[in-house]
Amino acid sequence: MENHFRIRPAETADAAAIWAVECRAFSDPWSLSGIGEMIRAASTRTLVAEAGGTVAGFLVARAIRDEGEILNLAVLPEHRRRGLGRELLTAGLNWLREGGAREVYLEVRHSNEAALAMYRARGFRPVGVRTDYYRHPREDALVLRCLLAERE
């Protein structure tokens, strides 16, 4: 199957489209204003994946000194299992590495097996648990870490 998508930095005008993906992907979505703030924040990078001219997925990453964090990653259900999430993650990790990050953290639902498999394939390993981190439904989050020096 060919992938027909492109990844680019998000613009403020993308906030509503990103929010629409967020609302379809998560049971406890970020607010539209929160997404706008992330796009504008100097310490974050928001990337969108376009398919057929529409936003099909996005990633938000943050860098602080030598540490990075994947704050959010979502792909519309009809575009999953086509490599979109993997490509967004790779682009985000590259941005963090270029900015000097040596390690990257993220939280993921304990039950999200597809995301866990993708993250493990990219070198992320569990380092902790946040009890009752997610609200709808209530569930623990696994804290994962990737050492970027190991990925070079």
Which residue in the list 37, 107, 133, 139 is annotated as catalytic?
107
Which residue in the list 87, 105, 119, 134 is annotated as catalytic?
119
CA 10 to chain centre: 13
Is 105 one of the catalytic residues?
no
Pairing of strands 44-51, 54-64: antiparallel
The alpha carbon dihedral of 23, 28, 34, 40 has a sign of negative
Is 107 one of the catalytic residues?
yes
Is 16:30 a contact under the CB 8 Å cutoff? no
Catalytic positions, please? 107, 119
